[in-house]
Amino acid sequence: MLEIRNLCAEVEGKPILRGIDLTIRDGEVHVLMGPNGSGKSTLCHVLVGNPKYAVTGGSATFNGKDLLALPPEHRSYEGLFMSFQTPTEIPGVSMTNFLRAAVNARRKYRGEEPLGASEFLQLLREKRKLVGLDAHFMSRGVNEGFSGGERKRNEIFQMAVLAPTFSILDETDSGLDVDALRTVAEGFNALRTPRTSAMVVTHYQRMLDYLRPDFVHVLMEGRIVRSGDASLGYAIEERGFDWIRDEAATAQPEPQP
Amino acid sequence: MTDPLKQYLDLYRAEHSRIAAGSCPAMNAHRDAALRQLEAHGLPTRRTEEYKYTAVRDALAPDYGLNIARLPLAADPHKLYHCSLPNIGARTCYIINDTVGPVPTAGSEDAIRVVPFAKADEEMRGFIGKYYHSTVQSYDALASLNTLLAQEGLLVLIPKGHRAVQPLQLVCFADAKADLMANRRLLVVAEEGAEATLLICEHASSSAHYLTTQVTELVLGERARVELCSVEETGSNCTRFHNIYADLAAGAALKLNSVTLTCGHSRQTTEVRLAAPEASVEANGAVTAAAEEHADHNILVRHDAGDCRSTLRYKYVLDGNATGAFAGKVYVAPGAQRSHSEQTNANLCVSPTAHAFSQPMLEIYADDVKCNHGSTVGKLDETALFYMRQRGIPEAEARLLLQHAFVNDVLRHIQPESLRQRLSLLVEKRFRGELRRCDGCRMYGGTATNAPTPPEP
């Protein structure tokens, strides 16, 4: 589904990603872990085409298409979705209008007619239940006055409405209490199919418990320095990152001046 | 360059008897004073603080014709013209150029009187004279020019205690074969406890260049409540000066909504006097300007008595090379204690070549007051734009939604709800580029020439 080769990117002239290689196949869930500033969020944003990040090398192919050549909205139509670490507040644009625009733009891209009013509302009703988001949020501005937990629920709700084939969850679990985390994770799991994949950035074991990922990767200084199964995630929870950093340093010594 | 004012003063001196003949005594009584003021003070320059951003001299320089001979309307405007704006079941009156059209009779339950000045002067002796020009407190060249040259006016009288059931819509329309100046005058008197909603729609054909001056005077008696919504939908061939003056008695409440959908060169001067305790004014302004459009709001609210309240909210979305100017001043007179005032002006510059000038001001001579003012000028929120695009909303649509939301924040204060919805829709169409001037107007049928003729040298 997704093939990333030697991907390099920078933010405001500062290199962050220094050659990412990653392959994600249909149905797989990959977890990204790593210390703060290692490039996890940058990788997420680069994949969905945030114009603040500049790709300086490498490639990303999504279902055979050159992902990096597509504008953000087309990446969305192709099936990419990102749950933002800090979902943006858009005062005055109601959730309903926002989602109607998103849903219908997607349908137009696929050559389908816009969704009728009652079908659309039915869709919202159905998906709201999944994450326990109350109806009154639909008439509010996007994330306007939402609590941290409500914003994260709202991200998963939007994911449910847009039904992506590849989801990126950038620390969707952070700032959630245990109940909210369960709701969000169960919501995510309910949307999984053998044909959908995900890349999940997390710092917490609890998320690993819920998601049961196929792979765990550790990012450091813009590179994947170690990959493994879920047990790698549990090892990090127990031992921290230093042992991986030490091993990585031994395996790939820095060039001496 | 000769003073552009000269041609207007010369015209008046040459034609004053014909101007007076086509007008009513109450209007004629103020012309000489207006002439003397204009002679003494002249037109504002770019150095005049109140007109820093609107070039009055350039605006008045072209040679416009006037309908001094009072040629009657060629046809019944009710048959020619259909304004699609309100959908609020309003009673509609027309002012074509500066001529008041036939006034429809009101429903039996509606006691609002809508009478041309000349007729009002005959039927209610002394009434027009009592109120005409009574609210104009300070010198303004455009108000004086209007007083000097205006020949017809319309009185809207809401009698004591009357609560109007039906909104009154006044459609002001400019349409001529040659470049034209039209001077309009409106007097609204809401007697004690009276309530009414008024809607003024400003439109113009594209067949010539127009210069319009309009003075709207509002006199609100004790506990009167008036909501005046003024909607401008004109074009690059239009220069418009609208002066609104309002005097409020104790407990009176005025709501002034002003929506500029499209314009040419537009300036609105507003002066509200809260003359007695517990009077309140709420002014909501929304401007959407693009291309070379110019919209300038200058508003003064005087808290002359204590315990009054004023709220000013103005929002501009500026695209292309548009210019938006806002100057708001809240003046609190000595002793006007417990005055409460809030003033905000927010500007969204959508293009890098749009200009916003914002000047909120407070001048306070009392010590027990609660007054605040704020102003912002910004671009579209890039983070929000990206968030929307990630969800699949195309960039153009995302920009539109953000702009629309920005303006809706002002529109939501407009009543009635049906009018608010209609305005919101028109703003959306405006952003989509789907707004044809005078949408739905039959007068435009097949004459959509958007290339106005250049002004006469």
- The predicted-structure confidence for B133-162, as pLDDT tens digits, reads as follows 999 989 999 999 999 999 999 999 999 999
Whole-model pTM: value is: 0.89
Share of chain B above pLDDT 90, in %: 78
B389 and A158: CB-CB below 8 Å? no
Task: Note whether B364 and B332 are within 8 A (CB).
Answer: yes
Please give the angle made by the CA atoms of A247, A249 and A251, to the nearest 5 degrees.
70
Chain A: residues touching B (Cβ < 8 Å):
48-52, 71-73, 75-77, 81-82, 84, 87-93, 97-99, 101-103, 105-106, 109, 141-142, 158, 162
Report the C-alpha gap between A3 and A173 in whole angstroms: 26
Task: Note whether B393 and A104 are within 8 A (CB).
Answer: no
Residue B21 has pLDDT above 50, yes or no: yes
CA B159 to chain centre: 24
Write down the pLDDT at residue A49.
96
Between positions 357 and 416 of B, the ones with CB within 8 A of A are 381-384, 386-395, 397-398, 401-402, 404-406, 408-409
Write down the pLDDT at residue B14.
95
Mean pLDDT of the region B316-325: 97
Q: pLDDT digits over B157-201, tens only?
A: 999 999 988 889 899 999 888 999 999 999 999 999 999 999 999
Write down the pLDDT at residue A132.
86
Write down the pLDDT at residue B85.
57
Residue B452 has pLDDT above 50, yes or no: no
Residue B437 has pLDDT above 80, yes or no: no
Element (H, E) at A120: helix A117-131
Low-confidence ranges of chain A (pLDDT < 50): 254, 256-257
Bridge partners of residue A194, in order along the sequence: none
Report the C-alpha gap between B37 and B141 in whole angstroms: 8
Write down the pLDDT at residue B79.
63
Give contacts of A49 with chain B, Cβ < 8 Å.
389-390
Q: Which of B193, B240, B243 is CA-nearest to residue B215?
A: B243
Q: Give the CA radius of gyration of chain A.
A: 19
Q: Give the CA radius of gyration of chain B.
A: 21
Write down the pLDDT at residue B252.
98
Write down the pLDDT at residue B438.
47
**Of A158-172, B296-310, B439-453, minimum mean pLDDT range:** B439-453
Please give the angle made by the CA atoms of B251, B254 and B260, to the nearest 5 degrees.
170
Mean pLDDT of the region B228-257: 96
Residue B448 has pLDDT above 50, yes or no: no
ipTM: 0.95
Residue B451 has pLDDT above 50, yes or no: no
Q: Which residue has the higher pLDDT, B89 or A183?
A: A183
Mean pLDDT of the region B258-270: 96
Report the C-alpha gap between B17 and B27 in whole angstroms: 13
Write down the pLDDT at residue B78.
65
Interface test mutation site (partner B, options A41, A73, A106, A146, max chain B beta carbons within 10 A)? A73
Write down the pLDDT at residue B105.
74
Please give the interface size between A and B, counted as residue pairs whose CB atoms are below 8 Å apart: 82
Domain residue limits, chain A: 2-251
Mean pLDDT of the region B127-132: 96
Share of chain B above pLDDT 70, in %: 91
Q: pLDDT digits over A122-180, tens only?
A: 999 999 998 888 999 998 999 999 988 899 999 999 999 999 999 999 998 888 888 88
Residue B202 has pLDDT above 70, yes or no: yes
Mean pLDDT of the region B251-279: 97
| A2-251 CATH choice from 3.40.50.300, 3.20.20.70, 3.40.50.620, 1.10.3720.10 | 3.40.50.300
- C-alpha distance from residue B22 to each of B15, B119, B122, B308, B402 (Å): 11, 13, 14, 41, 50
